[in-house]
């Protein structure tokens, strides 16, 4: 489970950096790397980042329960 948590946190960080770049510079790094905003690979990355965000909610709840 620890490996999934680490991967999840890395994906959340990637998503946060990408959203920061979009907000500040209107620059989508994920789309640039993976072939444009409409490419299947870009959409897969977005889905993985979303799932990682949902998993992070569980981690946050676990932190509050301790």
**What global pTM score does this model have?**
0.86
Tokens 């897969």 identify what position?
44
Query: What's the total number of domains in the chain?
Result: 1
Range of the domain at 51: 2-65
Sign of CA dihedral 4, 6, 10, 12: positive
Amino acid 1: pLDDT: 73
Q: Are 32 and 21 in contact (CB under 8 A)?
A: no
> Rounded distance, CA 19 to CA 61, Å?
24
Amino acid 10: pLDDT: 94
Amino acid 22: pLDDT: 97
In angstroms and rounded to an integer, the radius of gyration of the C-alpha atoms of the chain is: 13
Amino acid 2: pLDDT: 87
Q: Mean pLDDT for each consecutive 10-residue tract of the chain (66 residues)?
A: 90 96 97 95 96 93 87
């Amino acid at each position: 489970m620890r490996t999934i948590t680490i991967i999840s946190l890395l994906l959340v960080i990637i998503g946060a950096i990408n959203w920061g770049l979009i907000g500040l510079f209107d620059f989508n790094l994920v789309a640039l790397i993976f072939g444009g905003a409409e490419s299947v690979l870009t959409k897969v990355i977005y889905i993985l980042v979303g799932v990682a965000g949902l998993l992070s909610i569980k981690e946050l709840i676990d932190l509050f329960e301790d």
